[in-house]
Structure 1
Amino acid sequence: MLVLGISAFYHDSAAALIRDGEIIAAAQEERFTRKKHDPDFPANAIAYCLRQGKVDAAGIDRVVFYEKPFLKFERLIETYLAFAPKGFASFRKSMPLWIGEKLFQRDLLLRELKEIDPALGDKAKLRFSEHHFSHAASAYYPSPFQSALVLTMDGVGEWATTSAAIGEGSSLKITKEIHFPHSLGLLYSAFTYYTGFKVNSGEYKVMGLAPYGEPKYVNAIFDHLIDVKDDGSFRLNQDYFGYCTGLTMTNERFDALFGGPPRRASDPLEQRHMDLAASVQAATEEIVLRLTRSLANETGQRNLCLAGGVALNCVANGKILRDGRFDQIFIQPAAGDAGGALGAALAVYFKENGEAAIKNAKRPDAMHGSYLGPSYEQSDIEQRLKAAGAVFTVVDDEQLLEKTAAALAAGQAVGWHQGRMEFGPRALGNRSILGDPRSPSMQKALNLKVKYRESFRPFAPSVLREHVADWFELDADSPYMLLVAPVKSERCRKMSAQELALFGIDRLNVQRSEIPAVTHVDYSARVQTVHKETNPRYYDLISRFEAMTGCPVLINTSFNVRGEPIVNTPEDAFRCFMGSEIEFLAVGNCILLKDQQNQALKLDYKNAFELD
């Protein structure tokens, strides 16, 4: 049975294809259109999935949309009625869009599908899955567990904002929900907005900024904004928020509580903003831990699956793991709405096939390392690079590893474009910018000269799985860069009294460990474990770097500049190479050096994209 899943029309549109429960392909639309968080119908991603699956539209048995639009419309109407007459201006602006597109989304979907191929737009094939069920399915079915608790937390689906489900074999059932407007994701997004970052894309900046501050406002959050019970259930005080009745996340009462209006994106970051970030992060961790502890006690489950946008909060995830209530945790790498496309497909497959759809828990990684996007043959790479005007040399595998590892050891920023593109927001070693984590200046240099983004942003370490416990307080798989763990104390250096007295961004330049470029100011790191089974070429590169330097760790950040989607094609990689200060680029077995390129092809990527 072939099932095509689709998410679209909000943000991070995507498509995914499964065959008899096996994940064949998945990709976000933004990677093809080059439009960050592209919400439009994923025509390019669908076309890719069909090519990868070597199937035509007639061969698709089901097409599944990741949520139920009519239930969303119902929420909009009921929310307006609950708050009327407040919010009429917002209601009036949004209603034409909802009536024109959302209420009749079935017809819109069928039209878009027919444009790709009439056979794809057969209404008998079309199904809809509930938003949170799609998230839950995306995490449970690819997990290695035959039984698990599944916790989904995000902004809002149709009505649910937090849900708990139980997976048993091929069965998955949601057992508890918290409904809009009470939302942990929207609480975090309110602080994202208030501290001057973009909602639905800047939340990870708040998480990265948090260690520079002190959680001074935690009591204010719990006293005024959110009432949290011992079991983690909660209610938000809508007197402080604007998302139900207005066009902003927060309102004047929120401003008064936290000492001023929202920060504009162009304003400098102050210590108060860092303290606000630290406070909402601490509150989020407390609420999540109450939820997971309560659900562990109630269900007796020892395996946990996580999905939804809040599951991308890798600091909270690390604390769940260290809390010890669960033996194993699986986090869907595309935990946000893009992953809903995959979950929708899996949900319908297992629902329609019942017990005949045996969940394969023996497979170590049904997500295939999340390497589910397009790849390019060597001959194709060479043709594409030539057409783009690139100057390159073709080397064998041994030379590729040796030259790339040598460039890294020499302190160069390396673009690494190999194999199948990753699905989800993280580059996991196939569309990555790499660097030497031992360099005290590399973190700042990569942020300011390569990524063109804020200097405080941390970078993740990729570490060989067998060495993770030697360098970090973690001895578990973390293939998707979704767990934060402390750097081993013996790898750290103590800060002097003078250094300890520093505040905020001034802490950035203090060397804290043997791998300072990936050690955050609180001595933590967002760890990716690299496994030979899922990414042998990247594993071999890190092994070669270790042979040269004694360090089995590399800096790994996504191959893009701020505001740009992660690169997809060899041409995307070359453009980013020529538009940034990356010095060395490896695309397949092609090596490109910056000083050998035609300088007329140099691009200004620093100002090409707005802040994300």
Structure 2
Amino acid sequence: MYILGLTTMGDAAACLIKDGELIAAAEEERFSRIKHHVGFPYKSVEYVLSEADIQFKEVDHIGLYWKPWVVGQRILVTLNTLPQSWAAFNSRRKRGLEQVGGHYKQMFFMQQHLKETFGDSKFKFHYLSHHLCHAASCFFVSPFDHAAIFTVDGTGEDCTTLCARGEGSRIHTLDRIKLPHSLGQFYSAMTNFLGFDMFQGDEWKMMGLAGWGKPEFYDYFIDNILIPIGKNKFHFNTNLLDHHLAKDYIFNLEFMKVVGPNRKPDEEITQAHRNLAATAQRVLEDIVIKLLNWLYEETQETNLCMAGGVAFNSLMNGRIMTETPFKNFYFQPAAGDSGCALGACYQIWNSKLNKPRNFVMNHAYWGPGFSDAECQRVLDQKGLKYEHFSEETLVRKVAQVLAEGYIVAWFQGRMEWGPRALGNRSFIANPTDPEMREKLNHQVKLREWFRPLAPSMLEEASCEIFGTDRYDPFMITVFPVVEDMRAKIPAVVHIDGTARPQTVRKEINPRYWKLIKEFECLTGIPCLLNTSFNIQEPIVCTPEDAVNTFLKSQVRYLVLGGCLIDRDQTSSENKLIKNFF
């Protein structure tokens, strides 16, 4: 039995499972090359069907991650803003009309659209709750038979936060928090207040900036903006900080009298901006920890599964792992809306069809993969010189150039599912070079100086780097690095002495593990610097994408499968920069 899951608004994606086993999953942005692609995921659907080698008519069930008729709470929230602010009311009204005439209308006719696009079929179509899809995406593919479940994002149909308990093939809802009280919308509003762009996913930037500041305005925020209520509620005061107005960079004067004016996108980042980022981060963390402590009291579960866009907040996740009573954790690697395509599949398979669970998602490599022959064909078409090596020779040569201080564009196997590059679509480098962060951020990635970079480390080295066993294959948590290691790997240690690791297990990604192991043999350091293989674009998907981005980057070395490309041997004019990169 084949089940197809879809997300069709921001972060459009498709996922396919067969008899409860995940076959393929991918975000549309990787094919369209448009970040956070909005719209139907045509190419993603084509890809997952091709990966399974089936035709559309063989799909038995299709799930959509949204119930478009659930609009009552949104209408009520919009009407309630009218007495306080015409601007806020009008912003919500315009957004609502755009959605009804656009995304929502398409969703109502989704079954017909699918048949017109991919051919007639007898599939059964399911409209599914957004937050239950988030919950299914983390619990049903986790290693736990039972767990507490916490999903948190900007909003679904009307719910922004879900507390639940999972048991077997069932998810039992314990509590919901509805609009306008949203942790995700609070964080996005502050992202725009600091001059970034929530529509481009710039919440990452505010999280990165937070480590450079102090929570100077904490008391004001907790008393006036994001206010805790009892053990399991909070109030987001949209009169002082409105998410919809923030989209247009419009902010409340009373709020700015306390925290200062909002930063314009081209303005210098000051210490005040850093402190505001730190304040927003700390308030978010404290509210979430409060809610999770309540969830533990209600469930007495030691296992916790999390999803939703806010679950990408790795700083928060590190505190959750050390400051809540939970002992075991599963953070979904595609925690945002794209991951709801996965959740839609398992919500149908486990909950709707009442099938027993038979799959654990212990890695994120569910996208397209390419053979060495396909990679060589692209290199030949581009006129790039390359050498093809056995795996043993390849990892030895690449480890050597990494030890010498070069950056390598590394393209292997199947593409990662979710926004993290996990060693298959990565720029990799030597973490011992204190200038490497600046080189990658400024000269290669073309992004802000404060953006952190992460280590990919051997699973066996966890105690050496963090002082205790830490297993995070999805690079979604932050932990303190032991004092002795901080000076040894400065390029991947944050300003506060923490790092966001990917632990690499040999049996899951053997070639990447061997590369890190070879690098350790040369340098004594059991990790590499790893950042996503992209430059102001979605992460590369195909060999063509990889070559195009490599040529833009001026990085010297590219590895496509077993092929090693040295830019100096390809174009003599690039020899001028070889010593820098």
Give the secondary-structure state (helix, strand or coil) at the position aligned to 1:101.
Answer: helix
Q: Is the 8 A contact 2:292 2:324 kept in 1?
A: no
Q: What does the per-residue CA deviation read over 1:551-603, in whole Å, with 9 as the maximum and x for residues that have no partner?
A: 11100100001x2000001111111111013111110001111112247999x
Q: Does 1:533 align with 2:507?
A: yes
Q: For this pair of structures, how many residues does the alignment match? A: 571
Structure-1 residue corresponding to 2:262 = 262
Q: Is the 8 A contact 1:438 1:515 kept in 2?
A: yes
Deviation of 1:226 after TM superposition, in Å, equals 1.9
- How many angstroms apart in 2 are the aligned matches of 1:342 and 1:515? 36
Relative distance call for 1:182 and 1:118 in structure 2 (3 A) is: same
Amino acid aligned to 2:216: K
Q: Does 1:591 align with 2:579?
A: no
- How many angstroms apart in 2 are the aligned matches of 1:245 and 1:266? 20
Deviation of 1:491 after TM superposition, in Å, equals 2.2
Relative distance call for 1:115 and 1:265 in structure 2 (3 A) is: farther
Structure-1 residue corresponding to 2:578 = none
Q: After superposition, where does 1:336-351 map in structure 2 within 5 Å?
A: 336-351=336-351
Structure-2 residue corresponding to 1:607 = none
Q: After superposition, where does 1:399-418 map in structure 2 within 5 Å?
A: 399-418=393-412
Q: Is the 8 A contact 1:473 1:485 kept in 2?
A: no
Relative distance call for 1:171 and 1:555 in structure 2 (3 A) is: same
- How many angstroms apart in 2 are the aligned matches of 1:451 and 1:244? 30
- How many angstroms apart in 1 are the aligned matches of 2:410 and 2:303? 35
- How many angstroms apart in 1 are the aligned matches of 2:22 and 2:257? 48
Q: Does 1:559 align with 2:533?
A: yes
- How many angstroms apart in 2 are the aligned matches of 1:545 and 1:416? 15
Amino acid aligned to 1:93: K
Amino acid aligned to 1:20: D
Q: What does the per-residue CA deviation read over 1:482-534, in whole Å, with 9 as the maximum and x for residues that have no partner?
A: 11001112324xxxxxxxxxxxxxxxxxxxx2100001110000011001121
Q: Which runs of 5+ in 2 are unaligned?
A: 576-581
Q: TM-score when scaled to structure 1? A: 0.90
Q: What does the per-residue CA deviation read over 1:384-441, in whole Å, with 9 as the maximum and x for residues that have no partner?
A: 2211222211111111101110110010000110000000010000000000011111
Q: After superposition, where does 1:191-590 map in structure 2 within 5 Å?
A: 191-200=190-199, 201-243=201-243, 248=248, 251-253=251-253, 255-323=255-323, 325-354=325-354, 357-360=355-358, 366-492=360-486, 513-561=487-535, 563-590=536-563
Q: Is the 8 A contact 1:89 1:246 kept in 2?
A: no
Q: Is the 8 A contact 1:434 1:557 kept in 2?
A: yes
Q: TM-score when scaled to structure 2? A: 0.95
Give the secondary-structure state (helix, strand or coil) at the position aligned to 2:478.
Answer: strand
- How many angstroms apart in 1 are the aligned matches of 2:281 and 2:95? 31
Q: Which runs of 5+ in 1 are unaligned?
A: 493-512, 603-612
- How many angstroms apart in 1 are the aligned matches of 2:92 and 2:299? 41
Structure-2 residue corresponding to 1:74 = 72
Q: After superposition, where does 1:43-192 map in structure 2 within 5 Å?
A: 43-71=42-70, 73-84=71-82, 86=86, 87-91=88-92, 93-119=94-120, 125-192=124-191
Relative distance call for 1:148 and 1:250 in structure 2 (3 A) is: farther
Q: Percent identity of the aligned residues? A: 40
Q: Is the 8 A contact 1:241 1:249 kept in 2?
A: no
Relative distance call for 1:246 and 1:325 in structure 2 (3 A) is: closer
Q: Is the 8 A contact 1:578 1:601 kept in 2?
A: no
Q: Is the 8 A contact 2:81 2:89 kept in 1?
A: no
C-alpha root-mean-square deviation of aligned residues, in Å? 1.9
Deviates more, 1:244-253 or 1:135-144: 244-253
Deviates more, 1:155-164 or 1:79-88: 79-88
- How many angstroms apart in 2 are the aligned matches of 1:79 and 1:101? 20
Give the secondary-structure state (helix, strand or coil) at the position aligned to 1:424.
Answer: coil
Structure-2 residue corresponding to 1:510 = none
Give the secondary-structure state (helix, strand or coil) at the position aligned to 2:22.
Answer: strand
Q: What does the per-residue CA deviation read over 1:17-38, in whole Å, with 9 as the maximum and x for residues that have no partner?
A: 0111111100000000111111
Question: Structure 1 stretches (4+) deviating beyond 6 angstroms?
Answer: 599-602
- How many angstroms apart in 2 are the aligned matches of 1:44 and 1:111? 18
Amino acid aligned to 1:566: I
Q: Is the 8 A contact 1:417 1:432 kept in 2?
A: yes
Relative distance call for 1:414 and 1:295 in structure 2 (3 A) is: same
Q: Is the 8 A contact 2:188 2:243 kept in 1?
A: no
Q: What does the per-residue CA deviation read over 1:300-352, in whole Å, with 9 as the maximum and x for residues that have no partner?
A: 00000010011101111111111251110000000000101110111011123
Relative distance call for 1:428 and 1:251 in structure 2 (3 A) is: same
Deviates more, 1:293-302 or 1:237-246: 237-246
Deviates more, 1:234-243 or 1:173-182: 234-243
Q: Is the 8 A contact 2:321 2:329 kept in 1?
A: yes
Deviation of 1:75 after TM superposition, in Å, equals 3.5
